[in-house]
Amino acid sequence: MKVLVMLLLSAVAPGCRANFSYSQPPKLLLVSFDGFRADYLQDYEFPHLQSFIKDGVLVEHVKNVFITKTFPNHYSIVTGLYEESHGIVANSMYDRVTKKHFSDADDKDPFWWNEAVPIWVTNELQENRSSAAAMWPGTDILIHNTTPSYFMNYNPSVSFEERLNNITTWLSYSNPPVTFATLYWEEPDASGHKYGPEDRDNMRRVLNEIDGLIGSLVQKLKLVGLWENINVIITSDHGMSQCSEKRLINLDHCLDPSSYSLIDLSPVAAILPKINKTEVYDRLKNCSPHMNVYLKEDIPNRFYYQHNDRIQPIIVVADEGWRIVLNKSSSKLGDHGYDNSLPSMHPFLAAHGPAFHRGYKHGTIDMVDIYPMMCHILGLPPRPHNGTFGRTKCLLADQWCINLPEAIGIVVGALLVLTTLTCLIVVMQNRLSAPHSFSRLQLQEDDDDPLIG
Ligand SMILES: *[C@@H]1O[C@H](CO)[C@@H](O)[C@H](O)[C@H]1NC(C)=O
Ligand SMILES: *[C@@H]1O[C@H](CO)[C@@H](O)[C@H](O)[C@H]1NC(C)=O
Ligand SMILES: *[C@@H]1O[C@H](CO)[C@@H](O)[C@H](O)[C@H]1NC(C)=O
Ligand SMILES: *[C@@H]1O[C@H](CO)[C@@H](O)[C@H](O)[C@H]1NC(C)=O
Ligand SMILES: *[C@@H]1O[C@H](CO)[C@@H](O)[C@H](O)[C@H]1NC(C)=O
Ligand SMILES: *[C@@H]1O[C@H](CO)[C@@H](O)[C@H](O)[C@H]1NC(C)=O
Ligand SMILES: [Zn+2]
């Protein structure tokens, strides 16, 4: 018996050691399909995405950050920070001190991005590791003097296929190896704005194409031999709400255009009053029942959207499905940016790879929880952030986690066992209450032998 154990140990140990020392650092590919609303997954068919999920994990709702816009949410995913802390507080911003403007078409000044350190910069600064990016917002900008080693300048006309081909080439052949990569795609956001999420025929067609892209992503990773070893996260920045020509709030009916500067419009208007803040606020307050008006100091705490100079003195938040416009009609049939507690604003998250469980479904996490999970997978030291690593433990193969029903089951089970034991002991004690003399058990000599002779 002893000999057999020794043989087993000597056979297994060197194998383990060999594979620990030669194993590659973990790789992670983070993919965003812009504007992929969480419940599209229930309402439409996604054969490729569903088979990705079947062998991986799904988080049905990711509670994103306010305001539920593209740039702010993509930066929260890669920093784990609320918007007030990472500084990208809208797709259109104005800084009163420097008089600088930011928009999605004019986003190149590092000034706007340097309030936080995205994960690709942290990864890039590690010895023997590099990062790669295909169009993720911010990846073509020198943030803290660093870009990913491999990136593309933002250009929406570059096809998904070219983005995918280049990112898999970088993941496969670079030295030092690319361990973190991002891939961004503009749909289904663009079509969601154009048709509205309730246009089932058009959305079915668009979402079917997205599923095809996910199929080609998996196929490509298999083709280059990365699929078994790479971790892939597929997620999004926000959902989409149905709008209508009948649900417009005309700001020109509320305010004299000369009394304020308009920094951002819809569905969260950012207002910089010119002379009299109180007057502008009072007028907005009495303008429409379909919006909430906040002085900056009164913005609800749950938005985590207050402590930053780039947040303007007054913000106006339209009700779901309402749009704020100037004195002209608007043709958008879908929009996002609304209150982040609305389920229609939430994206989902799916993940696959050696770091993740297989076939596990989870209800909800916060968008800021994704960052500490990614740092854990890559073995990177996380920067200060607003996420909670514990909330993603159940997704991860190397973490011990129990959910509430399991916990209740274990507690009830343990109580049953304890009760049974207690009863047995009481019964035994009663039976053995008469005095007895026990002979001491004799240990066999053999049992005292040291294990390794
Ligand atoms: C180490 O793992 C690889 C697969 O990752 C396997 O092909 C190889 O045989 C393993 N080596 C040893 C010595 O077990
Ligand atoms: C980085 O790579 C070099 C050369 O391959 C190696 O000598 C060094 O130990 C590596 N450093 C780390 C931290 O892995
Ligand atoms: C993708 O890679 C090809 C081949 O190296 C290159 O010609 C092309 O410019 C790259 N595309 C982008 C958008 O960087
Ligand atoms: C601002 O407007 C309010 C209400 O219209 C008025 O009571 C107040 O005196 C004005 N303040 C200044 C500084 O003009
Ligand atoms: C708004 O538009 C209407 C017609 O489209 C025009 O008559 C009106 O003067 C406009 N109001 C402002 C404040 O521009
Ligand atoms: C979010 O994290 C940043 C960085 O640690 C911190 O400064 C900020 O206070 C946090 N926000 C909240 C609401 O805890
Ligand atoms: Zn978006």
Could you report the per-residue pLDDT of 119-162, keeping only the tens digit for each?
999 999 999 999 999 999 999 999 999 999 999 999 999 999 99
Rounded-to-10 torsion of CA 119, 120, 123, 129: 160
Residues 251 and 264: their CA atoms lie apart, in Å, by 12
Task: Grade residue 201 by pLDDT with cuts at 50, 70 and 90.
Answer: very high
Strands 57-63 and 349-352: antiparallel
- CATH at residue 316: 3.30.1360.180
What was the pLDDT predicted at 138? 98
pLDDT surpassing 80 at residue 448? no
What was the pLDDT predicted at 328? 73
**Rounded to the nearest 10 degrees, what angle do helices 70-79 and 370-378 cross at?**
40
91 located within any domain: no
**How far does the centroid of ligand 2 lie from the alpha carbon of residue 21, in Å?**
12
Q: pTM here?
A: 0.86
291 and 331 co-located in one domain = yes
Residue 260: give the domain boundaries: 248-335
Q: In the chain, how many domains are there?
A: 2
Question: For residue 188, is the peptide bond before it cis, meaning its omega torsion is within 30 degrees of 0?
Answer: yes
Task: Grade residue 329 by pLDDT with cuts at 50, 70 and 90.
Answer: low
Task: Grade residue 434 by pLDDT with cuts at 50, 70 and 90.
Answer: low
154 and 283 co-located in one domain = no
What tokens appear for 112 in the block?
Answer: 């706007």
- CATH at residue 159: 3.40.720.10
* Mutate which of 158, 162, 167, 169 for ligand 3 pocket (most atoms within 8 A of beta carbon): 162
290 and 148 co-located in one domain = no
* For ligand 2, atom 7: residue with the closest CA: 128
Residues 270 and 210: their CA atoms lie apart, in Å, by 33
pLDDT surpassing 90 at residue 8? no
pLDDT surpassing 90 at residue 9? no
Residues in a beta bridge with 150: 132
Residues 271 and 262: their CA atoms lie apart, in Å, by 5
150 and 285 co-located in one domain = no
Active-site residue list = 70
* C-alpha separations of 317 from 85, 96, 290 in Å: 20, 22, 9
What was the pLDDT predicted at 17? 43
For ligand 7, a single-atom ion, which residues have Cβ within 5 Å?
Answer: 34-35, 70, 189, 237
pLDDT tens per residue, range 351-404? 999 999 999 999 999 999 999 999 999 999 999 999 999 999 999 999 988 767
- Average pLDDT of the chain is 91
193 and 58 co-located in one domain = yes
Give residues (CB < 6 A) around ligand 5. Answer: 252, 327
Rounded-to-10 torsion of CA 277, 279, 281, 283: -150
What was the pLDDT predicted at 429? 86
List the Cα angle 236/241/245 in 5-degree steps.
140
Task: Grade residue 19 by pLDDT with cuts at 50, 70 and 90.
Answer: very low
DSSP secondary structure letters along 275-294 = S-HHHHHHHHHTT-TTEEEE
32 and 180 co-located in one domain = yes
The region that residue 432 occupies, defined by phi over 0 for left and psi between -120 and 50 for alpha, beta otherwise, is: alpha
Question: Do residues 234 and 33 lie in contact, with contact meaning Cβ atoms separated by under 8 Å?
Answer: yes
Query: How many angstroms separate the most distant Cα atoms in the chain?
Result: 103
What was the pLDDT predicted at 23? 66
Question: Do residues 348 and 81 lie in contact, with contact meaning Cβ atoms separated by under 8 Å?
Answer: no
Instruction: Report DSSP state, residue 188.
Output: T
